[in-house]
């Protein structure tokens, strides 16, 4: 190759060098800026690293679905739901109201009758007005329970004629019969206090034997989580139920409103629920106001005897 041709080829190679360099620079720049424009797919942070959601004001949750009894009175007081609008019924839930500690006044009966829903009237057997109250309830043809006084664990006095730990089976049976005789027309029995005695298997067998011989049902007030009443009754061949909510374990209208709301939620979750109340003025006023609204929302109020569980077989 001549010198002239070598100089020409060398010149052409030198002319391409800037173009190649420029192209390389443009390509690198494209990669750089393109990478910055494309967001990277980052993994979800672990649950513990996420920011906590802002609290939202919404109705309190319904009671759990598990078939568990409501807590005893002391715990029920702390579990009171805040007062608020009553929850609409889910399906056609049934509610049984039981009013304890009757037998001291006839005036309470008219207030309760004004609710115009079935109520189980639990009458203490040896109070000053037991006889007149039982007689009036008999005339009205309503459901009556003998509110059987039993020994508590906290030293509280259950009242006259109480059944106590340390009594023989014969003594417990004798006192149970006397209590039932004092409340004629009773179709069932529920315990007044009894957190101590209701946890004693032998004592409950003696008491429930009398309940069985009279052909009555047993409602376990569940004043203690250790109560054996409900299970022992079914084992003895006796139809039985148990309390789900105490409406007035804590005093005051606001507490009763919250517990009444809780009772309705339990009824919606379970299909039925039993609530126990007492003839306190604030309790009666809340019931007078809230029961009609609950009926409007679709809750059906029934006698406690409608919610009994029945023994699966012969007594054990």
For the chain, what are the domain ranges? 1-33, 76-307
Residue 31: predicted pLDDT: 36
Taking Cα atoms as reference points, which of 182, 189, 168 lies closest to residue 233?
189
Query: What single-letter DSSP state applies at residue 193?
Result: E
pLDDT in tens, 77-123: 345 566 678 998 888 999 999 999 999 999 999 999 999 999 999 99
- Our measurement of the distance from residue 58's CA atom to the centroid of its chain's CA atoms, rounded to an integer in Å, reads 18
Is the model's pLDDT at 173 over the cut of 80?
yes
Is the pLDDT confidence value at 19 over 80?
A: no
Mean pLDDT of 191-197: 97
Euclidean distance between CA atoms 146 and 100, whole angstroms: 9
DSSP category for residue 159: -
With a cut of 80, say whether residue 190 has pLDDT above it: yes
CATH number of this structure's domain 76-307, picked from the four choices 3.30.930.10, 3.90.1200.10, 3.30.450.40, 3.20.20.370 = 3.20.20.370
Tell me the range of 60-69, 86-95, 164-173 where mean pLDDT is highest.
164-173
| C-beta atoms surrounding 61 within 10 Å | 9
The whole-number average pLDDT for the span 138-154 is 97
Measured in whole angstroms, the distance separating CA 307 from the mean position of its chain's CA atoms is 16
Q: In whole angstroms, what is the distance from residue 232 CA to residue 234 CA?
A: 6
Note the pTM of the prediction, 2 decimals. 0.74
Task: Please give the Cα distance from 248 to 276 (Å, whole number).
Answer: 8
What is the spatial distance between Cα 179 and Cα 156, in angstroms, rounded to a whole number?
A: 19
Reply yes or no on whether the pLDDT at 62 is more than 60.
Answer: no
Look at residue 18 and give its three-state secondary structure: helix
């Amino acid at each position: 190759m001549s010198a002239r041709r070598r100089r020409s080829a060398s010149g052409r190679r030198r002319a391409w060098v800037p173009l190649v360099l420029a192209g390389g620079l443009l390509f690198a720049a494209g990669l750089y800026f393109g990478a910055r424009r494309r967001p990277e797919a980052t993994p979800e942070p672990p649950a513990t690293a996420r920011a906590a959601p802002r609290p939202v004001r919404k109705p309190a949750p319904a009671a759990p679905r598990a078939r568990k009894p409501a807590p005893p009175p002391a715990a029920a007081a702390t579990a009171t739901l805040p007062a608020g609008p009553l929850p609409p019924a889910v399906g056609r839930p049934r509610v049984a109201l039981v009013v304890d500690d009757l037998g001291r006044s006839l005036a309470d009966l008219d207030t309760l009758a004004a609710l115009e829903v079935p109520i189980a009237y639990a009458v203490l057997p040896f109070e000053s007005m037991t006889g007149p109250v039982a007689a009036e309830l008999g005339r009205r043809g309503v459901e009556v329970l003998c509110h059987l006084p039993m020994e508590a664990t906290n030293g509280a006095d259950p009242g006259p004629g109480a059944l106590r730990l340390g009594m023989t089976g014969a003594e417990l049976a004798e006192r149970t019969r006397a209590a039932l005789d004092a409340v004629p027309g009773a179709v069932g029995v529920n315990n007044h206090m009894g957190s101590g005695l209701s946890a004693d298997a032998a004592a409950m067998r003696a008491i429930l034997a009398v309940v069985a011989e009279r052909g009555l049902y047993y409602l376990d007030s569940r004043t203690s989580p250790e109560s054996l009443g409900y299970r022992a009754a079914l084992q003895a061949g006796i139809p039985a139920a148990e309390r789900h909510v105490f409406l007035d374990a804590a005093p005051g209208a606001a507490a009763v409103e919250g517990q009444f709301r809780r009772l309705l939620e339990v009824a919606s979750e379970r299909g039925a629920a039993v609530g126990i109340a007492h003839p306190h003025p604030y309790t009666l006023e809340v019931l007078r106001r809230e029961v009609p609204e609950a009926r409007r929302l679709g809750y059906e109020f029934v006698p406690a005897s409608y919610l009994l569980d029945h023994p699966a077989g012969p007594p054990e």
